[in-house]
Amino acid sequence: MIREFTQSEFIFILSSARWTLLLTVLSLVLGGLFGFVVAIARTSRLAPLRLLAAGWIGVVQGIPVLILLFLAYYGLSMLGFDLPPIVAASISMAFYASAYLGEIWRGCIQAVPWQQWEASTALAFSRPQQYRYVILPQAMRIAVAPTVGFIVQLVKNTSIVSIIGVIELARAGNLVNNATFQPFKVFGTVALIYFAICWPISLLARRLEGKLNASRAG
C-alpha cells in the first residue's frame, strides 16, 4: 500500500535529524580533541611524534569513511566488541574528523610566522607557554574558516552511516520515499533540513571571523 507524504512522515524525517546532529556533535567533539593532539604532535620538535601524527593523517585520509565505518562496525564485532550502530558510527566519524582537523590545524599553526616563535623563545617562554599564549591564539584566527568548512562537510557526510542501519536524516528520507514514492517532496524536505543545519553554521563562522578581524583593526 502506498502511503501519503503527510505531517507524520514529515515529523519522522525531522526527528531523525537528531541522530545527524548527535553524530555531528560527537564526532566533532571527540575528533576535535583527538585532532588537536594530532596537530600538536605534527608540529612537535620530536621527530617520532611528527611521524606518528603524519602516519595517522595519511592512513585515515587514504581510507574512505565508508571503510572506516565497516571496520568499526563489522570488524570490531568480529573481535567480540558488539557496538550499537550509533557508537560504531561515532567512533569512525571521530577518527575521520581527527585526521582532517589535525591536518587543517597543523597548517594553521605553521601559518603563524616563525618570528613569533623566535620572539617568544627570546623572551624565555617554554614551548607549552609559546603554544598557549603566542602561537595558538594566532592560529585559531586562521583556523575559523577552514574548520567551519570541514564541519559543514561533516554534517553532510554523516549520511553515510545510514548504511549500517542508523536511521538519521538521509536514511529516514529513504524509508519514507520507499513508502510514499514521492522522491521530490521527500528528498526536497531532507535537503532543506540539511541546509537548515549547515547554513547557520556558515553564517556564524562569517560573524566570528568578522569579529576577530575587527578586534585587530580596532
Partner 1 sequence: MPVVQVEGVHKRFGEVEVLKGIDLSVESGEVVAIIGRSGSGKSTLLRCINGLEQIQSGRIQVAGHGLDASAHGLRDLRKDVGIVFQSYNLFPHLRVGENIMLAPRVVLGVSKVEARSRAEETLAEVGLAERFDAWPDNLSGGQQQRVAIARSLAMRPKVMLFDEVTSALDPELTGEVLATMERLAAHGMTMLLVTHEMAFAERVATTTVFMHQGKVWEMGPSAKLFDAPQTAELKQFLGGGLK
Residue range at the interface with partner 1 (CB under 8 A); choices 14-22, 63-71, 75-83, 131-139: 131-139
Cα-based distances in Å from 203 to 191, 200, 217: 18, 5, 21
Would you count residue 121 as binding partner 1 (CB under 8 A)? yes
Would you count residue 134 as binding partner 1 (CB under 8 A)? yes
| Helix (H) and strand (E) counts in the chain | 10, 0
| Interface pick for partner 1 out of 116, 174, 180, 182 (rule CB under 8 A) | 116
DSSP character string of 7-36: HHHHHHHHHHHHHHHHHHHHHHHHHHHHHH
Q: Which is nearer to partner 1, 127 or 206 (CB)?
A: 127
Q: Which is nearer to partner 1, 129 or 178 (CB)?
A: 129
Q: Are 183 and 171 in contact (CB under 8 A)?
A: no
Residue range at the interface with partner 1 (CB under 8 A); choices 12-20, 65-73, 124-132, 179-187: 124-132
| Interface pick for partner 1 out of 141, 145, 156, 167 (rule CB under 8 A) | 141
DSSP character string of 50-86: HHHHHHHHHHHHTS-HHHHHHIIIIIHHHTT----HH
Would you count residue 216 as binding partner 1 (CB under 8 A)? yes
Would you count residue 77 as binding partner 1 (CB under 8 A)? no
- Residues at the site binding partner 1, with contacts judged by CB under 8 A: 115-116, 118-127, 129, 133-134, 137-138, 141, 216-218
